[in-house]
Amino acid sequence: MELKFKYPIKIKTLEWIDGKVRWIDTSKLPFEEIYIESDDYERIAKAIEDMEIRGAPAIGVAAALAIAATAYKYRSLPLNELKIKLIKAIERLRQTRPTAYNLFWALERMAKVLEKEYNDSDTLCRAIIEEALKIYVEDINTNIAIGEYGAKLIEDGDTVLTHCNAGALATSAFGTALAIIRVAWYQGKKIKVIATETRPVLQGARLTVWELKKEGIPVILITDNMVGYVMSKGLVTKVIVGADRILSTGHVINKIGTYMIALTAKRHNIPFYVAAPTSTIDLRTPIAQVIIEERDPDEVRKVLGRVLITLEDVEVLNPAFDITPPDLVTAIVTEKGIIYPPYETNLKRVVEG
């Protein structure tokens, strides 16, 4: 599917090709650039669980495309049987990762298409594919809009610290936090990026560095525990991160370690920005009901699942995300504009308006 966008799309994390979903296996980067195609929703669900596909917007788009692939694959079934297949696929994909809100947002949209009346399987199949591709294209255009709004916050000469990977590899293409950096760079602003390694899965070291090197944007890699040092030395002028879920209160759920960075930024009077589409904003769930995903302890015991760095039987905590309170967040950049406090009022106004 060839589409034209305002800026060059150099990294296509997800694509729809002849009834199949194609994705880059981010778990193999930066050492191998491997693309996988499948029309099996179970295979795509496993790709999300195993973090071949990761990043809240990418997870949502991949789930929508998986439903489309299921519709295409089983389009010759009678209408009721096709509906049963699609409901089963939606329920399986709901179980993949509990924290990223875009997953549930995208599947809810697909489920609403399924609720309508259809005369035959072919009509239902076309409607499902149309909605999934709409979500896919919206994601890229949304990312570009986030980049353009956010670039207004970037000044010539800035050094931006980012955590984890909120780039093209976390979306269909272009990114959220890295979209802002990309657009600022395309505008000719002389900027640099400091990327944290992002233990334990090293998304910053493996993915953010790989993306920025492809763009030719200057990047320095640091360990997670250097954040206080580089800020105290005046080496950071802005922080921009992504989000997996933003609550109506302005609490930001993002990769583990984000909260510590926000606290340190506050101490050093450095603006802390969050970049995310409005599909990441969850106006319904109270903070007490947010599920923080606990991942395999071996992600901490080993480096990239290979090299053991501690005792095999040591007890491990491995939450994938933490929660940053709204008083530490300078602003939230969305495709509808930059949202400032009070978040409880302004998030609702922007999302529902």
Residues pairing with 222 in the sheet: 196
Copy the structure tokens of residue 181.
Answer: 């950096």
Instruction: Identify the CA nearest to 228 among candidates 267, 273, 271, 177.
Output: 267
DSSP 217-267: --EEEE-GGGHHHHHHTT--SEEEE--SEEETT--EEEETTHHHHHHHHHH
Dihedral sign for Cα 330, 335, 337, 340, please: negative
Q: Is 244 a catalytic residue?
A: yes
Q: How far apart are CA 108 and CA 64, in angstroms?
A: 9
Contact 152, 122 (CB under 8 A): no
Interhelix angle for 177-186 vs 121-151, to 10°?
60
Write the CA distances from 71 to 20, 114, 178, 270, 271, integer angstroms.
Answer: 11, 11, 33, 48, 45
Contact 248, 326 (CB under 8 A): no
Instruction: Tell me how far apart the terminal alpha carbons of the chain are, to the nearest angstrom.
Output: 32
Interhelix angle for 121-151 vs 56-73, to 10°?
160
Helix and strand counts by DSSP (H, E) for the chain: 12, 16
Amino acid symbol at 228: G
- Check 224, 244, 298, 322 and give the catalytic one: 244
| Pairing status of strand 302-303 against strand 307-308 | antiparallel
What residues act catalytically?
244
